[in-house]
Amino acid sequence: MSDTRPPLTILSEEESMFREAIAAFADEEVRPRVRDMEKAGKIDPTLIPKYFELGLMGIEVPEEYGGAGGSLMMVALAVEEISKVDASAAIVCDVQNTLVNFPILKYGNDEQKQRYLTRLTSEVVGAYALSEAGSGSDAFGLATRAEKKGDGWVLDGRKLWITNGAEAEIFVIFANADPSAGYKGITAFIVERGTPGFAVGKKEDKLGIRASSTVELLLDGCELPAANVLGPVGQGYKIAIETLNEGRIGIGAQMIGVAQGALGAAIEYIQERRQFGKELAHFQAIQFQVAQAATELEAARLMVYNAARLKDAGHDIARTGAMAKLYSSQVCERVTSLCVELFGGYGYTTDYPVEKFYRDAKIGTIYEGTSNMQLQTIAKSLLR
């Protein structure tokens, strides 16, 4: 059997061991569940406790709060390895680490960190709620309102496209506390499931990442104490931007994982499938397509890893993160499409894995900032 692993990339001994452990976990625990989760349209509930047991739900969180005290690079490695098997399973720990733990760790006070991070690293799933029906790419055109009431707040509005929403117990939600101030009125709140006035609504039926829950959230007179405000009032826009910058590294890792999973399956297939008296892998046209795909994928991988390294070193990654997310999602679409073609008619059936990889690839150009928004971010940075 051929070596379908990605080219060697420099990792520390700790990172290499971590990646190997996650790869084994994905193969042993995730792979046997993929088909059933895809059909059911939800994550197997028996899988989620295994994420906590392995420490996957608090990779960057310090040990004092129950986390692993790791790095964004390790988050990227975990998401990539699981995505090679199933993107839906990967997004569970991706969102937890980059969109939920990160803002609480950076902007939460000591009480909030102790109260929420200890649970998020050990037992409960979290979700991040920014998007609305009228504010997708225009993320700061929020209609959800936060009104001061005594010492607390009341939230009213509706959030859409909330990943992990069906499983989550803790939500980071953005609302505008002062619409007259525009985006400078946006404030972040921590909301727990079960809070009066808060409800999880419709679950979306999607093209890809079907086992990952995508839901709406309903806020109808949702009363919160002042202790649930995350960061300074009116600084929600800053929190949202910084969080998405980190989140895009996770999506980039998801995309290179999906592409690698598809390419690995295709490379094995073309060495077995015979046409015109020989294996497909013997045809130069096939060889060149695979070589081109592998080269583009490695370039995307290095962009994602570089952005993660820069973030871990304390650098601003607004541009590098946008570039990594943009390019990795583009490459993933191209690679998975090619892999479907390499399988021929079989590739279009659910009997083989590449059709699922192809469907899972599309979301990468949409969520956590569409490709056009990444281009805008890159252009603004270059032309500033």
5-37 tens-digit pLDDT: 555 568 999 999 999 999 999 999 999 999 999
Tell me if 61 is assigned to some domain.
Answer: yes
User: For residues 81 and 306, what is the distance between their CA atoms, to the nearest angstrom?
Assistant: 17
Domain that holds residue 353: 238-383
Q: Do 67 and 199 share a domain, yes or no? A: no
Q: Do 226 and 250 share a domain, yes or no? A: no
Q: Do 69 and 109 share a domain, yes or no? A: yes
Domain count, the chain: 3
Beta bridge partners of 126: 170
Q: What is the mean pLDDT of residues 172-200?
A: 97
Residue 378, pLDDT > 50, answer yes
Q: Do 247 and 372 share a domain, yes or no? A: yes
182: alpha, beta or left? (left if phi > 0; alpha if psi -120 to 50): left
Which CATH number goes with the domain that contains 162?
A: 2.40.110.10
Q: Which of 120, 141, 175 is the last residue of a domain?
A: 120
Q: Do 246 and 201 share a domain, yes or no? A: no
Tell me if 373 is assigned to some domain.
Answer: yes
Residues 6+ apart with CB under 8 A from 35: none
User: For residues 254 and 26, what is the distance between their CA atoms, to the nearest angstrom?
Assistant: 13
Q: Do 161 and 32 share a domain, yes or no? A: no
Q: Do 89 and 163 share a domain, yes or no? A: no
Q: What is the pLDDT of residue 5?
A: 58
Tell me if 6 is assigned to some domain.
Answer: no
Furthest CA-CA distance within the chain: 80
Q: Do 94 and 173 share a domain, yes or no? A: no
Residue 3, pLDDT > 60, answer no
* 3-class SS of residue 148: strand
Alpha helices in the chain (DSSP H): 13-25, 34-40, 48-54, 72-83, 87-95, 102-107, 110-112, 118-120, 236-270, 284-312, 318-342, 354-361, 371-383
Which CATH number goes with the domain that contains 71?
A: 1.10.540.10
Which CATH number goes with the domain that contains 351?
A: 1.20.140.10
Q: Which of 208, 234, 260 is the last residue of a domain?
A: 234
Residue 230 and residue 188 in contact, taking contact as beta carbons nearer than 8 Å: yes
Residue 160, pLDDT > 60, answer yes
Q: Which of 200, 234, 268 is the last residue of a domain?
A: 234
Tell me if 308 is assigned to some domain.
Answer: yes
Residue 268 and residue 342 in contact, taking contact as beta carbons nearer than 8 Å: no
Q: What is the pLDDT of residue 1?
A: 40
Residue 63: active-site member: no
Q: Do 246 and 377 share a domain, yes or no? A: yes
Q: Do 70 and 181 share a domain, yes or no? A: no
pLDDT tens-digit map of 224-249: 999 999 999 999 999 999 999 999 99
Residue 4, pLDDT > 70, answer no
The mean pLDDT value of the chain amounts to 96
pLDDT tens-digit map of 306-315: 999 999 999 9
Tell me if 7 is assigned to some domain.
Answer: no
Tell me if 195 is assigned to some domain.
Answer: yes
DSSP label at 121?
T
The pair of structure tokens assigned to 211 is: 């086992």
Q: Do 178 and 89 share a domain, yes or no? A: no
Tell me if 330 is assigned to some domain.
Answer: yes
Q: What is the mean pLDDT of residues 275-292?
A: 98
Residue 214 and residue 159 in contact, taking contact as beta carbons nearer than 8 Å: no
16: alpha, beta or left? (left if phi > 0; alpha if psi -120 to 50): alpha
| Catalytic residue, candidates 29, 60, 167, 368 | 368
For CA atoms 101, 192, 83, 34, give the dihedral sign.
positive
Count of C-beta atoms within a 10 Å radius of residue 179: 12
* Long-range contacts formed by 336-345: CB under 8 A, 24+ apart: 336/258, 336/259, 336/262, 336/360, 336/361, 337/361, 338/266, 338/289, 338/293, 339/262, 339/263, 339/265, 339/266, 339/293, 342/266, 342/269, 342/270, 342/280, 342/286, 342/289, 342/290, 343/266, 343/269, 344/273
Q: Any idea which residue has 């059933």 for tokens?
A: 36
Q: Do 107 and 213 share a domain, yes or no? A: no
